[in-house]
Structure 1
Amino acid sequence: MAGTFGSLIVSGVTSLMEIGLAVIIGLMLYALILLGLFVPSATAIVGLAHHWPFAKRFRQIETN
């Protein structure tokens, strides 16, 4: 996806270059900050409760 939008940067059309650059910057922020820092820290804050929808299923498997 980044490669596709990255090709817009070399197109020479100013509006397409701006769109391609904005999408690439957004993808990099998402990949590096959100996935790299926010998700693990949110999981650490919530603790074991981050599996709450599946807790009943896990308990049933463990007891069988």
Structure 2
Amino acid sequence: MNSIGQRIRTCREMLKMTQEELAQKIRVGANTIEKYENGEQIPSTQTILKLSTVLDIPASELLGQEYTETPQ
């Protein structure tokens, strides 16, 4: 199971973005991104929304909630 930190790292790397670049875009320190990715700190709800926007991934997926559409 992937943690939120692993999902942040994967998305960031897919966008060829450094930790510093991501930190600047969401206005936190680069060491904070490192802590998120290493599982040492969990981002706040507000930060998750910022990460979602910058990384172009729904917040629910960033949190690890995968939804499947149910046929009607």
TM-score of the alignment, normalized to the shorter chain, above 0.5: no
| Bigger fraction of residues in helix | 1
Structure 2 length normalisation: TM-score? 0.24
Query: Which of the pair has the greater relative contact order for Cα pairs under 8 Å at 6+ separation?
Result: 2
Structure 1 length normalisation: TM-score? 0.25
